[in-house]
Structure 1
């Protein structure tokens, strides 16, 4: 279970307010898509949820427990820029996260533990369509394959929450559609809570069970950095209605 709550969260950098007074609850197994203009604070919100940034005010909780002060395995992330290790094979890339968690001093497992992890990593690669590429290096993969590898990496630590930061922005349309299908399948299989930042409105409404827009609601022309972004729209109810009507139309033939 992973219910996320932003409790009156604000974020400032010096005198510049980026986000202010965010009150937001994300339900367990929800797929939340966050949209908004460039500079509105979408990625800052995601970085705070990952613990790469700390709120200036307020707090963030998962299942009513404040999140740790640093990134933890309960939250996996996939960036637009492929977060893979170029000097490791595809299989070793997928094994590294669980290996470091299990053996933080050496980063290596041995014997039966290593064999079991290797089997689990190979199964994950099979699931994301990279089973036949285990011995290759990331540079030998296409962009879509590298993003599949990044997703496999993120899922290997069995996170409660998967964070997606513009994960498909660099992909061609055909590869992007395939990745949409894969992510939706993995979300349903693993029953994670997903938070995705995207500039693509059609992508947000296609993937999300809920879409929120983040933008400034107040502007001061004499002090443009005085006010931060807030949640300006929440499309959860509309999405549910549209999908229900769509499903009813399909059932009716």
Structure 2
């Protein structure tokens, strides 16, 4: 990896379908809105989605600097790298674990990130090869766990938290997505996936509930259109929630650096 990155933050989930990539995109944009230099690495090798979420056209390729390094693409003021930039959109990545881990390592190490305050890594769901590679070979400052209030999602989120604890990566907090659904016609609010799950799991593992996000059509439409909520509707309640969560992550890691010293630059 070339450059100096102050904080590497993994955004993870125990299972797919909880909105982890959407949360990663918006959380990173909210951090950039705080004046931070931010990058996003899409580590979901099998199902990369950050390219579309950030509005980068299919077929866009990174500039190759030399045989071993490439420049990340840029969108909304952030640096982005994804397997989607290196393959065709229809390509199925039918790879075994070691190949996936190697691809992740190459994306991370061979990208010329430059100077960043934060690199957010959009992790694949689960607790497999990429998670272990990240924990063993990358100085991760902390992890953010994304879940829904549903019992099955919470069960998998617990496994994710346990995995990070075993490899000594601090869990910065839990984000509960799809907490409630507000009817677009009548305004009725309903906890369709259950209630209070994020708070319970945060309390169980002595971490914080960073925030709760609603299940709304606008969030989906905005990321599908390449303009996540934080940039599409910066004055909305949802963008305000992301801003608050980014602030909590920033303050937490800022305090950690103050107590342990600055990060190491590496090549």
TM-score interval w.r.t. the shorter chain?
A: 0.3 to 0.5
| TM-score relative to the length of structure 2 | 0.38
| TM-score relative to the length of structure 1 | 0.40
Structure of higher CA gyration radius: 1
